[in-house]
Amino acid sequence: MPLRLLIIGAHPDDADYAAGGTAALYREAGHAVRMVSLTNGDAGHHEMPGPALAKRRLGEATAAGAVIGAEYHLFDIHDGELQPTLENRWKVIHLIRSFEPDLILTHRPNDYHPDHRYTSQLVQDAAYMITVPAVVPGTKHLMKNPVIAYLPDEFQKPYPFTPTVAVDVGPVLDKIVAMLHCHQSQFYEWLAYNTGTLDQVPKTDAERRAWLSEHTRTRLRKQADRFRGTLARCYSLAQAQAVEYAEAFEACEYGAPLDDAAAQRLFACASGKTA
């Protein structure tokens, strides 16, 4: 039975940055994937903010989704201006109901970026309400909550990210890089400018892809080491020790339980186990 994965990020590269490998593995297994940004990304640049940037980032996100054959949708909300309003909650309820996901991945509620925090809050606020027929009555309610899990981060307060499942994304590393390479305005321009590393960005397309690949490998290799214990719970010990690149996710209590049975069903395509 095909599964349905919905990744809800705040910006048009959040979904593939934090969970692109899992999305790619889902698609390789024949499952449906929708990646969503709750903002249009129109503030994420030092030289071209506004409508032109929003249009550019929509094109980048669409191209990134096409790498793995996934949908990529952007809400028309200004970058940096997302609020956990009732209207936006209704939009997220409609989004979840219309896609009917088995698994939702989103930001944790504590984060440096207000758009990330409010994305998390909106998903949490929608979680129970998607089962209530009288709420957003124009969209058929769901009979049960999907599993909801958080994307990884490194923040320590009020509590650090505590992974429930970890995924070996080594087999699809090239696809992760290919997706991120589509977000030219971010990885080679804005984020490099914002971190003071713009002078390190190569000039040619091939050199840039290699540069991005090395950065991505380093990041996902660190995550494999960081989540080695969780990998050992999801794979055999020998397999876990051999994982070089990993993504991990933490269960959200507001969704359906991410227990052992649910983890096996939802992540079998990633672990190589059969559900």
How far apart, in whole angstroms, are the C-alpha atoms of residue 258 and residue 189?
38
**Is 271's pLDDT higher than 60?**
no
- Residue 182 to residues 3, 94, 124, 131, 167, Cα–Cα distance (Å): 26, 28, 30, 36, 23
Phi, psi of 183 (to 5 degrees): -85, 65
Q: Which domains does the chain have, with CATH numbers?
A: 4-168+248-271 (3.40.50.10320)
Phi, psi of 239 (to 5 degrees): -65, -45
- Strand pairing of 103-106 and 246-251? unpaired
Q: Which long-range contacts (CB under 8 A, 24 or more apart) does 264-270 make?
A: 265/3, 265/102, 266/3, 266/102, 266/103, 266/147, 267/22, 267/165, 267/167, 267/234, 269/3, 269/25, 269/26, 269/28, 269/29, 269/31, 270/22, 270/25, 270/26, 270/167, 270/168, 270/169
This prediction's pTM: 0.96
Can you give the pLDDT at residue 268?
78
- Please compute the mean of the pLDDT values over residues 58-86 and round it to a whole number: 98
Can you give the pLDDT at residue 273?
47
Please tell me the least confidently modeled range out of 129-133, 225-229, 233-237: 233-237
Percentage of the chain with pLDDT > 70?
A: 97
Secondary structure in 3-state letters for 42-106: CCCCCCCCCHHHHHHHHHHHHHHHHHHCCEEEECCCCCCCCCCCHHHHHHHHHHHHHHCCCEEEE
Residues facing 105 on adjacent strands: 7, 149
User: What SS3 class is residue 160?
Assistant: coil
* pLDDT band per the 50, 70, 90 thresholds, residue 270: low
* pLDDT band per the 50, 70, 90 thresholds, residue 275: very low
How far apart, in whole angstroms, are the C-alpha atoms of residue 228 and residue 238?
11
Mean pLDDT across the chain: 96
Residue pointed to by tokens 């589509």: 182
Contact 72, 64 (CB under 8 A): yes
- Please compute the mean of the pLDDT values over residues 167-172 and round it to a whole number: 97
Can you give the pLDDT at residue 1?
85
Q: Report pLDDT digits (tens) over 245-258.
A: 999 999 999 999 99
- Please compute the mean of the pLDDT values over residues 130-151 and round it to a whole number: 97
**Is 160's pLDDT higher than 60?**
yes
Q: Report pLDDT digits (tens) over 83-123.
A: 999 999 999 999 999 999 999 999 999 999 999 999 999 99
Can you give the pLDDT at residue 272?
46
Contact 169, 209 (CB under 8 A): no
How far apart, in whole angstroms, are the C-alpha atoms of residue 26 and residue 23?
5
User: What SS3 class is residue 251?
Assistant: strand
Q: Report pLDDT digits (tens) over 200-218.
A: 999 999 999 999 999 999 9
User: What SS3 class is residue 256?
Assistant: strand
**Is 269's pLDDT higher than 90?**
no
Contact 21, 245 (CB under 8 A): yes
How far apart, in whole angstroms, are the C-alpha atoms of residue 267 and residue 273?
8
